[in-house]
Structure 1
Amino acid sequence: MKRLTEFPYSNIVVLGLARSGTAAAEALLANDKTIRVHDKQATEQDETVIRLKEMGAEVIIGSHPISILDGMDLVIKNPGISYDNPIVAEAIRRDIPIITEIELAYYLFDGPIIGVTGSNGKTTTTTLVTDMLKKSERPVRVAGNIGIVATEAVQSMQDDEALVLELSSFQLQGTEKFRPTTAILLNIFEAHLDYHKTLSNYKQAKFNIFRNQTKDDYLIYNAEDKAIAEEVKDARAKLIPFSVHQKLEAGAWIDDKYVYFKNEKIIELKEIVLVGEHNLQNILAAIAAAKLNGATNEGIYRVLTTFSGVEHRLQFVENINGRLFYNDSKATNILATQKALDSFKQPTILLAGGLDRGNEFTDLKPHLKHVRAMVVFGQTASKLKELAAEVGIEKVIESENVEDAVHAAYSISEENEVILLSPACASWDQYRTFEERGDMFVQAVHKLM
């Protein structure tokens, strides 16, 4: 069990149980901290509530009593809880620090940390880095916004292991001292403004990934993202750029035939299984991080010649009578769908729609040239139908849900076409998560067989 020897707080409120809150509460209790746990949805009968009480926590469920902050010197909140939450807002008024459990995990682990963030591509890049290190026989664990909770993972890690963390803006906003030895900043565009309120707030949360780095650390960044390239000029870490359009002898890049890290050939482009220019960006970032943390060229090669994508991220599902089905349910915003569409040249049937956050879809227009038909669903169905009419897509079907959309798309499809689920919207109008939406798509495709 790792000890919180340098953690400067003793009386702590944990807001929200779920997995991250539970892991944080257990770690704090194991380190003799005084904690109060609050979760509006929990009940007295929940196993987690019973266990935490037995361990010595004060657990408050149901209402939002502001008095939960009395005598406390820190709040650890679930990343999904907004800063408008009454308890969080009051903590800010009282100048009580607010962090997420990523900060706590940092205090519990002394080994190398590879942090990955960006508006898109986090999960793919995190998975690539982890697999490249594993195939190179480098001890490594993966946690954060993917897989296991970071605070839980570090409890059983050795200091010679590398920890790869997928990090959301929600998690990074709640950090103070967090310092990855290798940071990856993939891209930034307008997203999650319902949470962060302004684009500036969102960017600053993302930039927290390198704020505390030193000259001994590495910052891998997208040289083609102007906002990032400008911001990293003030970084103290060693800068490692990547680009798919320019030669970068200090970083990762490609020419018309090969992938390079600095001036070393890594792999021939035609041998890479993963499709899409945006995935080439993810690959370059992953190669840089892997090489800087002990990966071998052989290990990297083994991953890139076999890895075809993670679930719900431009995941190839099946070839049915010459129709290629791809599940990109993770595309919860317009940029992600742009990149998915640009990954294909052949005629495509696009399945899109979901939660209406007030967005218009005008930015999709230049990317719809090879889209022959659309099947739309959810709250944004009417907006997407209007978009199709504006760009001259004549075949548009409105479906009840993703499952019906699969059957509708197949019924109008032709051989050698792509049927792509890339919703450009969050799933919460019909599905609890984008994973659930993607699973429904995959199941519907398999039923066609």
Structure 2
Amino acid sequence: MSGTPRRQLSVPAPEPARSGRPPLPPGPYLVVGLGRSGRAVAELLSQHDRVVAYDANPALAGVDTLKSRAEVHLGGDGRELLVGVRTVVKSPGVPREAPVVVEALRSGRTVIGELEVAWRLLPNECWAVTGTNGKTTTVELLGAILRAAGREVVTAGNVGRPLAALVGRIGPETTLVVEASSFQIEDTIAFCPDCAVLLNLGVDHLDRHGTVEAYHRAKLRLFEHQEPSAVAVAPVGVAVPGGGRRIAFGPAGSGAELEFSEEGLCWCGEPLVARSGIRLRGQHNLENAAAAAAAALACGVSAEPLRTALASFKGVPHRLEEVARIGGVLFVNDSKATNVESTVRALEAFPDGGLHLIAGGRPKGGGFRALRPLVAERCRAVYAVGEASEELVSDLSDCVPVERCGTLERALERAVARARPGETVLLSPACASFDQFRDFEARGERFKALVRRLSASDGAVA
């Protein structure tokens, strides 16, 4: 594709953004779960009606500032707090099986999530991205594309900044690009993004959803309420609900509007950008770039700013993030790989092998046998940490040596002892972080700090 024409491609005229939203459900409100999104929505709703804020953790920190705006309760199962409450706002980390949520549903109260509460109060054009893997990268890439096109944009949602924190703080001309997890989507009632993007449907969160089918249904709810003025982007061959205008992406020859191959991207049969013009590493990121390009072009972004963003966007923290090269060994932080499929994609990004894989944490169900082919082909050893250690040993030890290391510190120490110049130490856990860390960011930051300590002692530049 070295001769890719540098011209603006023909794209459909964008429909005007939706500005209408359903009203807030009635208060008083009970907010269940006081993490980042719970605290943000409790503060927001306190401007509208009485708010009771509850978390099952009796020792939860960080809620003191909320006490001036809401009646805060910690510990217990929370069912007694439903008295006088008309709407329950559930944080995504709280399962629907929690006693207070079960009782709220049984009694006919409205149960809704922070994502939709905030969306109802924001008139902005809203794009939403979901999928098993690649959400954060694609959200931030879409943000980069829209900025290159001269638009004001804010990324939020599961990517880290609660949508509720933006109400009253951004102008109506700002486009929202939202990362939407299955936990957030299952708590929606009328959420209707102007552009909805499904990246892929794998296996994840079986510990929460129970079955693959239930997990996939939660993802596809993102499209249910779209109208013909909206855009629905999905992999070719995947049927999505709702009335949005379908745009497909898929491999070359699939007949999708946006096709990808090792040569690059094509839009409606015409070359768009060569693979060398996409900075992100790995086949999975080629697919993420295809999904982002399909969404942007379908919504009226021209080809030039799209090419500019694809050429300059280097990814997000904790996703195949190159931390340092020490003594010829590359250290890569992929802490955001919280499921097996994501780790498969990380391993695929290193075709030359020589990998020392640090994996483990809190498993999500389904085991690690799907890693076996790539581990056998590309890894010299696996260093198991956290609650998943025994399962990793059971599933992978006949492929390569698997060491029980317990902690991230010990795993890195053992990997450094084994690794040779030209090889890579890769943190790609295939597990949640909650057995030893607050979240995947904390796990990734700890890995980077440990590597930089090595780098300083080695004299290398991180």
TM-score, length of structure 1 as denominator length = 0.90
8 Å CA contact 2:223, 2:242 repeated in 1? yes
> Which range moved further: 336-345 or 374-383?
374-383
Identify which of 50, 60, 77 aligns with 1:34: 50
Separation (CA, whole Å) in 2 of partners of 1:138 and 1:85:
41
Does the residue aligned with 2:358 lie in a helix, a strand or coil?
Answer: strand
Aligned-pair distance for 1:358?
5.0
Pairwise CA distance, 1:383 = 2.8
Residues 7 and 379 (structure 1 numbering): CA distance in 2 closer, same or farther, change over 3 Å?
Answer: closer
Q: 1:307 aligns with which of 298, 309, 313?
A: 313
Secondary structure of the structure 1 residue equivalent to 2:177: strand
Paired position in structure 1 for 2:177: 164
- Which of 50, 58, 67 is equivalent to 1:50? 67
Structure 1, residues 320-339: CA drift from partner, whole Å, max 9, x if none? 23222211111111111111
Asked whether 1:19 is paired with 2:30, we answer no
Q: Residue by residue, what CA displacement relative to the aligned partner does 1:396-441 show, whole Å, maximum 9, x if unpaired?
A: 4332322222232122122222221111112222222211211121
1:47-86 aligned at under 5 Å gives the runs 47-52=64-69, 57-86=70-99
How do residues 139-178 of structure 1 correspond to structure 2 at under 5 angstroms? 139-178=152-191
Q: Equivalent residue for 2:378? A: 370
Contact 2:248/2:257 (8 A) holds in 1: yes
- Return the match for 1:133 from 124, 128, 146: 146
Post-superposition Cα deviations, 1:21-76, rounded to whole Å, max 9, x if no partner, equal: 22222222323x23322234478994323321xxxx44434333423222322110
Alpha-carbon distance in 2 for matches of 1:45, 1:23: 12
Q: State whether residues 115 and 157 of structure 2, in contact with CA within 8 Å, keep that contact through their aligned partners in structure 1.
A: yes
Runs of 4+ in 1 over 6 A off after TM superposition: 2-5, 42-45
Q: Which residue of structure 1 lines up, in the alignment, with residue 274 of structure 2? A: 268
Cα distance in 1 for residues equivalent to 2:131 and 2:189: 19
Closer/same/farther in 2, CA of residues 305 and 95 from structure 1, 3 Å limit? same
1:242 aligns with 2:256: no
Residue ranges of structure 2 left out of the alignment (5+ in a row): 1-18, 456-462
**Aligned partners of 1:6 and 1:357: how far apart in 2?**
36
1:410 aligns with 2:423: no
Tell me, yes or no, if the aligned pair for 2:231 and 2:299 is still in contact at 8 Å: no
Indicate if the aligned counterparts of 1:355 and 1:379 stay in contact, CA closer than 8 A. Answer: yes
User: Compared with structure 1, are the counterparts of its residues 253 and 30 closer, same or farther at alpha carbon in structure 2 (3 Å cutoff)?
Assistant: same
Q: Retained in 1: the 8 A contact 2:89–2:113? A: yes
TM-score, normalising length: structure 2 = 0.87
Aligned to 1:428: 434
Contact kept in structure 1, 2:30 and 2:82, CA below 8 Å? yes
List per-residue Cα deviations over 1:86-106 (Å, max 9, x = no partner). Answer: 111101111212111111112
1:216: how far off? 0.9
Paired residue total: 434
Shift of the 324–3 alpha-carbon distance from structure 1 to 2, 3 Å rule, reads same
Contact 2:21 2:123 in 1 (8 A): no
Q: Could you report, residue by residue, the CA deviation over 1:321-369 in whole angstroms, capped at 9, with x for unpaired residues? A: 3222211111111111111111111122211122245542211112221
Give the 5 Å matches for 1:179-218. Answer: 179-218=192-231
Q: 1:42–1:49: 8 Å Cα contact kept in structure 2?
A: no
Distance 1:431 1:63 in 2: 24
How many Å separate the matches in 2 of 1:196 and 1:305?
Answer: 38
- Find the aligned partners of 1:44 and 1:158 in 2 and give their Cα distance: 32
CA contact (8 A) 1:220 1:289 kept: yes
- The worse-fitting range, judged by mean Cα deviation, of 177-186 and 8-17 is 8-17
Say if 1:309 and 1:316, in contact at 8 Å, map to a contact too.
Answer: no
Separation in 2, partners of 1:100, 1:195? 16
The answer on whether the counterparts of 2:25 and 2:110 sit within 8 Å (CA) in structure 1 is: no
| Corresponding letter in the other structure for 1:38 | Y
Q: 1:42, 1:424 → 2: CA distance?
A: 29
Query: 2:399 aligned with 1:383, yes or no?
Result: no
Unaligned runs of 5+ in 1: none
* Structure 1 letter corresponding to 2:370: D
Deviation at 1:212, TM superposition (A): 0.1
Is the alpha carbon distance of 1:65 and 1:444 closer, same or farther for their aligned partners in structure 2, counting shifts above 3 Å? Answer: closer
Question: In the aligned structure 1, how far is the partner of 2:21 from the partner of 2:253?
Answer: 45
Q: In structure 1, how many angstroms separate the alpha carbons of the residues matched to 2:364 and 2:273?
A: 41
Q: Identify which range, 381-390 or 279-288, moves more after superposition.
A: 381-390
CA distance in 2, matches of 1:272, 1:65: 50
Counterpart mapping for 1:275-286 below 5 A: 275-286=281-292
What SS does the aligned partner of 1:274 have? coil
Question: Cα distance, 1:264 vs. partner?
Answer: 4.1
Relative distance call for 1:357 and 1:30 in structure 2 (3 A) is: closer
| Equivalent-residue separation in structure 2 for 1:261 and 1:184 (angstroms) | 17
Q: Which residue of 2 aligns with 1:340?
A: 346
CA distance in 2, matches of 1:341, 1:269: 20
Identity of aligned residues (%): 35
1:158 partner amino acid: G
Structure 1 residues 361 and 85, CA gap change in structure 2 (3 angstroms): same
Instruction: Give the whole-Å Cα distance in 2 for the aligned partners of 1:299 and 1:380.
Output: 44
Distance 2:330 2:228 in 1: 47
Change (3 A) 1:137 1:235: same
Is the CA contact 2:25–2:87 (under 8 Å) kept in the aligned structure 1?
no
Instruction: Classify the secondary structure of the residue corresponding to 2:312.
Output: coil
CA–CA distance in structure 2, aligned partners of residues 261 and 68 of structure 1 = 54
- Partners of 1:197 and 1:203 in 2: how far apart? 11
Whether the 8 Å CA contact 2:356–2:380 is kept in 1: the answer is yes
One-letter identity of the residue aligned with 2:390: S
Matched position secondary structure for 1:75: strand
Change (3 A) 1:65 1:357: closer
